[in-house]
Structure 1
C-alpha cells in the first residue's frame, strides 16, 4: 500500500513538471513567433496595458507657428476646430473697430485741415440733402476733439487686436502642451484632510500616488 501511494505521488509530480515545462515551451514558441512576425504583444496580469503615443516636443512650437502664420490654424493643428470661429470672430471684431475709428479720424482730420485753410466746403457744412448751412454742424473745436477721440479709440482697437492675435498664438501653444500632459490615474497628486476621532485634531496634506 505505501508503495502504491509513493508511486501515485511520483507520477503526480512528474505530471506537474510536464505541464510546467509544456507551458514554458508554449510561451517560448509564442515569443519566437512574435519576434519573427515583428508584432508587439503586451501581457498584463490584472489590467490592460495601454500604448501611449510618443510625446512630440515640437508640437507646441508648431502650433504656435501655425497660429502666427494664420490665426486659427494652430487650433486646427490641435484638432480644436470649435475654437476657430471664436478666434476669427475676436480678431475680426478688433479689425472692424480699428477700421471704423480710423475712417472717422480721417473724416474729422480732413475737415479740420480745410477749416484751417479758410475753406467752408467740408462735409459738416452741409445737411443730409446736400444743402449748404450757415453754421457748420460741427465746430472747429469739435473737429479737434473728434480727432483726439477717434485717434485714441483707433490706438486702443489696434492694441486689443494685437493682444487677441497674441492670445491666439498662446492658446494654440498651451493646448498643444496640455494634449501631451500625463493625466494617468496611476500618477496623481491629491490633497487629503483627516480628522482624528480621539483628540478631535485635524491634519491637511498632499498625497502622491504612483502605481507601477
Structure 2
C-alpha cells in the first residue's frame, strides 16, 4: 500500500513539473519553464524550407547545408565531391593513355610510352594484351569514380532536405506527461499509470 502511495506522489510531482511550462505574455514565442528560466522557441514552421534546402543543394552543392546552418557538413560534401572528381580525372587520363597506345600498337607503330619502359631498346615491355587490360582497369575505376561523385551529390541533396525537416521539429509545447488512476476491473483495486501525449 505504501508503495502505491509513493508512486502516486511521484507521478503527481512529475505532472506539476511538466505543467510548469507557460507562455510568456510579453513574447508569445518564449516558454517560461520556471520562475527564472525562459526558453526561446525555434523559428516558426515553414513547410517550404525542406524543398528550398534541397533546391539550393541541387543548384550548388553545399548551399543547402549553409541554408540549414550546418556548416560542419561542408568539408564532408566538398571532400567527397573533390576526391571523386580527382579520381575520375586521373583514371580517365590513364584510360586514354592506354587506349591511344593500344590503337597505335594495332596500327603498327612502336613509339608509344609503354613499348620500351626501361629504355633498354628491347620491347615491347607492355604487350597488346597488357594495354587492353590497362584500358579495362582504368575504365572501371573511372566509371566507379563517376558513380561515387553522383552518389555524394545526391546524398548531400537528401541530407539538406532531411536536415531542414528535422530543424523544424519542436516538441517543447506539445509534450505532456500525465499520471492517471483507474479502477481495475479484475481485482477492484486502483491501478496507477502514466500517459504520454503528443499533439501534432
TM-score by length of 2: 0.68
The 5 Å alignment of 1:75-114 reads 75-114=65-104
Matches for 1:1-212 after TM superposition, within 5 Å? 52-127=42-117, 131=119, 133-184=121-172, 186-187=174-175, 207-210=195-198
Question: Structure 2: any 5+ residue segments left out of the alignment?
Answer: 1-24, 178-193
Question: Larger % of strand: which?
Answer: 2
Change (3 A) 1:124 1:186: same
> Of the two structures, which has the highest relative contact order with CA contacts closer than 8 Å and spacing of 6 or more?
2
Instruction: Report how far residue 153 of structure 1 moved.
Output: 1.0
Larger radius of gyration: 1
Number of aligned residue pairs: 155
- 2:50, 2:164 within 8 Å by CA — same for their partners in 1? yes
Point out 4+ residue stretches in structure 1 off by more than 6 angstroms: 43-46
Could you say what secondary structure the match of 1:138 adopts? Answer: coil
RMSD value, Cα: 2.9
- 1:182 to partner: Cα distance: 2.3
Q: Against the structure 1 CA distance between its residues 45 and 159, is the aligned structure 2 distance closer, same or farther, given a 3 Å change threshold?
A: closer
Q: Do the aligned partners of residues 44 and 73 (structure 1) sit closer, same or farther apart at CA in structure 2, a change above 3 Å counting?
A: closer
Instruction: Find the aligned partners of 1:188 and 1:167 in 2 and give their Cα distance.
Output: 36
* Contact residue 31 and residue 41 of structure 2 kept, 8 A: no
